[in-house]
């Protein structure tokens, strides 16, 4: 809750329905630090984000929220995601040709996407350090690799041909 403002209590249950997620209040505090408010609607959106899958599109998050709270406007969900992105609480990434996905920015990681099966593999940000250093030293270019995924083939698919329509599918 933002200092000096009243909002009704909403607790975010973990994905398995257990105790409330302790990250909820910290995330709402970040929204307040950005000059925003911790409204009931924002609490519901953040709670759904915390309880949902690791990578979620704005459309999927909106469908989840609106299934239980049809009075929450889709624009509120998008504005909340934008504010969380600005604060560094979530990151959005393009895993392929579909819509961007959002995920909590709780670990420094990058995405690999299998062009054949659509599997998403998270790799530590350190995996890109040598490549980033090479680009900086040889080309004077500073990369921001978190925004896009690297496409390729996972170990399971290896040399199998790409399945039509699967490139960039979200598998995690």
pLDDT one-digit tens code per residue, 23-55: 898 899 888 887 888 889 999 999 999 998 889
For residue 80, what pLDDT is reported? 92
Q: Rounded to 5 degrees, what angle do the CA atoms 126, 132, 134 make?
A: 125
- Report the 3 state secondary structure along 130-164: HHHHHHHHHHCCCCCCCCECEEECCCCCCCCCCCC
For residue 139, what pLDDT is reported? 96
- Give the global pTM: 0.73
């Amino acid at each position: 809750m933002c200092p000096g403002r009243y909002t009704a209590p909403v607790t975010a249950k973990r994905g398995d329905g257990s105790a409330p997620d302790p990250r909820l209040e910290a995330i709402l505090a970040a929204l307040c630090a950005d000059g925003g408010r911790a409204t009931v609607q924002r609490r519901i959106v953040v709670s759904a984000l915390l309880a949902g899958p690791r990578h979620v599109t704005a459309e999927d998050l909106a469908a989840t929220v609106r299934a239980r709270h049809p009075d929450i406007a889709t624009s509120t969900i998008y504005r909340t995601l934008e504010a969380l992105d600005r604060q560094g609480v979530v990151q959005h990434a393009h895993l392929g040709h579909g819509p961007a996905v959002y995920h909590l920015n709780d670990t420094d990681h990058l995405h690999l996407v299998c062009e054949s099966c659509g599997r998403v593999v998270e790799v530590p940000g350190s995996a890109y350090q040598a490549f980033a250093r090479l680009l900086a030293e040889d080309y004077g270019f500073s990369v921001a690799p978190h925004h896009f995924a690297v496409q390729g083939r996972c170990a399971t698919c290896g040399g199998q041909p790409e399945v039509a329509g699967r490139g960039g599918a979200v598998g995690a």
